[in-house]
Amino acid sequence: MTDEADNATDMGRRALLQSAGAAVVTGLVAGTTDARAATQDGMSSAARDEAPLGARLQGVQHFGLTVQNMERAYQFYTEVLGGTEVFRHGDFQGDEVQNTLLADQEIEANARGVNPRTIGVPDLRSGAQRLDVRFIQFDNVVIELLQYREADQPMGSAKSFAEPVEHMSPAFPRMMHICFYVRDDVDFNKFIADLEAESARRGMTQVRANRTIRVMTEADRKAAPRSTNTNRVTAEPSNGWELIYCKGPEGEQLEFVKALGPVKQRFSEALAKRQQTIVR
């Protein structure tokens, strides 16, 4: 094959991949998914909430990576790999943030009788530590970079709250989580309750979701009202997020989210802008 033919083939493959990737992301962000979902357009919200768990998902929304050096990671994913920043948000702190992201780790520290910091749990509750995030858009996936830092360190600092060692707290560098996208018309609180129940039925007792209120024991977590299964974010530019953290069956960190309203629009606009700038 000639160089000219090789180039034409490569361009064709690239165009095909870009089109496929764009179609996947557009489906995730806009809520228009694959052909299987299209057959469910007439399903009522009540019927959807009783459907199998898989029928209530829209797919994977993003992958998250906790980093030690935010600027270094940001440059790698944008300047080296060519991702496009969607938006950044930072200085997260407070009781509700702590409960949503880290309750299971506080329960573990309480059970061991140790200071939560010794197992990698930052103190977002008092604001001694803070959380910053940046979302990077690729053709068919979003990557979220997270950094937990001391309050006296600036955003984008090269110094993280914790050293990069292998632990299960989401605050440790190199700790990743997988985020699943829940359909817009699904009752988020019920989804989490059903997820835990179905997992327990299969013997997967490690699958445990956090609550938005402070719980110090596993019994407290189980007894928490169903309404505490969802953290609804109203602060800009994250307005429209609904989320909760959950451990998977192997102890992996999972997240379940909805992206509604303004934050959904931001992702849609970022994707459209990116598609306009892709060299075909």
Strand-pair category, 253-259 with 57-66: unpaired
pLDDT tens digits along 223-240: 999 999 999 999 999 999
pLDDT of 23: 37
Q: What is the arithmetic mean of pLDDT over 21-44? A: 46
Minimum mean pLDDT among 39-48, 49-58, 258-267: which range?
A: 39-48
Cβ-Cβ contacts under 8 Å for 49 (sequence gap 6 or more): 56, 186, 187, 190, 191
- Taking the CB of residue 219, how many other CB atoms lie within 10 A of it? 9
Cis peptide bond N-terminal to 237, omega within 30: yes
**Confidence band, pLDDT 50/70/90 cuts, at residue 203:** confident
pLDDT of 164: 77
Residue 38 buriedness (CB in 10 A; 0-12 / 13-18 / 19+): exposed
Residue 138 buriedness (CB in 10 A; 0-12 / 13-18 / 19+): middle
- Could you give the percent of the chain with pLDDT greater than 70? 83
pLDDT tops 50 at residue 165? yes
Highest mean pLDDT among 80-84, 104-108, 180-184: 104-108
Highest mean pLDDT among 5-9, 41-45, 156-160: 156-160
pLDDT tens digits along 108-158: 999 999 999 998 899 999 999 999 999 999 887 899 999 999 999 999 999
Average pLDDT, the chain: 83
Question: Angle at CA 163, nearest 5°, toward 159 and 166?
Answer: 145
